[in-house]
């Protein structure tokens, strides 16, 4: 009886562990896709902007503003106006 409980416990731990791993893997994949999409927009708009700088800038933006405006209906112009300091800080960090 005890060995069946141990086997059941091991299965439960494995399933939970896999779900946690899968969650973080999917989260990382989605974040990478968002960074790539953002970076492509900035490099298309500013042809003199280096791809590495755009990647760092977008990663900083998503890290600092992504959760805040995730489900927001606020327009891009309003976000830019409210978050000028964050945008400037991210750009300065990206250029380093």
This prediction has a pTM of: 0.68
Cα–Cα distance measured from residue 28 to residue 11, given in angstroms and rounded to the nearest whole number? 26
- Compute the residue count for the chain: 96
pLDDT per position as a tens digit, 10-38: 899 999 999 999 998 998 888 889 889 98
pLDDT per position as a tens digit, 39-76: 898 888 888 888 899 899 888 888 888 777 777 777 76
């Amino acid at each position: 009886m005890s060995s069946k409980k141990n086997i059941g416990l091991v299965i439960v731990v494995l399933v939970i562990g896999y779900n946690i791993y899968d969650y973080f893997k999917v989260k990382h994949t989605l974040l990478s896709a968002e960074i790539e999409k953002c970076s492509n927009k900035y490099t298309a708009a500013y042809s003199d902007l280096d791809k590495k700088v755009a990647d760092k800038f977008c990663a900083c933006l998503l890290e600092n503003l992504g959760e805040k405006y995730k489900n927001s209906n606020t327009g891009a112009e309003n976000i830019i106006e409210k978050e000028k300091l964050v945008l400037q800080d991210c750009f300065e960090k990206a250029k380093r």
